Amino acid sequence: MNIEVSGLRVNYGDVRAIDDMTFSLDGGKIYGLLGRNGSGKTTLMSVLAGFRRESGGTVRVGGHPVFENAAITREICLIRDAGETIDIDKVEDALYFAEWLRPHWDAAYAGELLDRFGLRRNMKVKEMSKGQRSALGVVVGLAGRSQLTMFDESYLGMDAPSRYAFYDALLADFMEHPRTIILSTHLIEEYSSLFEEVVIIDRGRLVLHEESQTLLSRGTSVTGPAGQVEAFTAGLTVLGAKRLGPTASAMVYGDLDEAQRRKAREAGLELGPIAMQDLFVHLTEGSGDAAPAVPAADASANPFGDAR
Report mean pLDDT in 10-residue bins for the chain, 308 residues.
96 93 97 94 95 95 95 94 70 92 95 96 90 92 96 87 94 96 92 94 94 92 94 91 92 91 93 92 66 34 37
pLDDT confidence of residue 113: 97
pLDDT confidence of residue 84: 56
Residue 303 counted as domain residue:
no
Residue 302 counted as domain residue:
no
Q: Do 148 and 239 share a domain, yes or no?
A: no
Q: Do 77 and 166 share a domain, yes or no?
A: yes
pTM of the predicted protein model: 0.86
pLDDT confidence of residue 42: 93
pLDDT confidence of residue 255: 86
Q: Do 122 and 196 share a domain, yes or no?
A: yes
Q: Can you say how many angstroms the Cα of residue 26 is from the centroid of all Cα atoms in its chain?
A: 16
> Domain containing 235 — which CATH number?
3.30.70.240
Strands (E), 167-279: 180-184, 197-202, 205-211, 219-225, 237-244, 247-253, 270-272
Residue 293 counted as domain residue:
no
Q: Do 222 and 201 share a domain, yes or no?
A: no
Domain containing 121 equals 3-211
CA dihedral 22, 152, 239, 275 (to 10 degrees): -110
Residue 304 counted as domain residue:
no
CA dihedral 131, 133, 135, 138 (to 10 degrees): -140
Q: SS3 helix, strand, coil % of the chain, rounded to 5?
A: 35, 30, 35
Q: Do 28 and 103 share a domain, yes or no?
A: yes
Q: Do 131 and 247 share a domain, yes or no?
A: no
Residue 252 counted as domain residue:
yes
> Domain containing 201 — which CATH number?
3.40.50.300
